[in-house]
Amino acid sequence: MTRETSNRRAFLKKAALTTTVGGGVLASAGTAAAADQKLILESNGGSGSYTVYVNDTGASGVSSTLESGDEVDSGSSKSRISGDLSDGDRDEYTFTGQVTAAILRGDVWLEVANPNGINLGGRLDIEGGGDSTYWVKASQDMRDDYSNLESTDSVSDDTCDGTLGFSDTDSYYLDGTIYAISASATDGYSVTVSHDI
């Protein structure tokens, strides 16, 4: 089994787990009351790092899950969440609003638990290189509106996945918000997901 096949199976297993653990929350997100969401970041194996932006100035870390290098910096309109992951590591943060961007290095899994029903659509750009791979699950449908996908990229209903070649950008239109991202960035590269809401 190739590394790519193994990673893709891991993506799908975690996606199934997310839906099961949500227990119907995903299906009812449109009517859920606004509440703190949990941002969960895990290593898919090995080490990794992350920088995530949310359009909430009050994001905070769950202290029992964080190490000295994990932090939240809040600005006038957003918070920047960053940290490092080792194999088996799990970092958690709480926030309201939406994930607007994520820069993931290594093999990283990002999940939004307790989604609060904010569904602001917009363009989703995924950038990277070095044959890095990605998988994204959203609250609503995604589609190819920008004609910059290659044969290794696909979109179906509320998920998209693909491979990023040298200085590659894959773009989708997303109706809603990001629920999960799995990225495997090869050495020296990152996978950058930007949601222009």
Q: Is 27 helix (H, G, I), strand (E, B) or coil?
A: coil
pLDDT values of the chain reduced to their tens digit, one per residue, 197 residues: 444 544 554 545 455 444 433 433 333 333 333 458 999 999 988 889 999 999 999 999 999 999 988 999 998 999 999 999 998 899 999 998 899 999 999 999 999 998 876 788 999 999 999 999 999 999 999 999 999 999 999 999 999 999 999 889 999 999 999 999 999 998 889 999 999 98
Any bridge partners for residue 107, and if so which? 184
pTM exceeding 0.75: yes
Burial of residue 113 (CB within 10 Å: 0-12, 13-18, 19+) is middle
3-state secondary structure 42-92: EEEEEEEEEEEEECCCCCEECHHHCCCCCEEEECCCCEEEEEEECCCCEEE
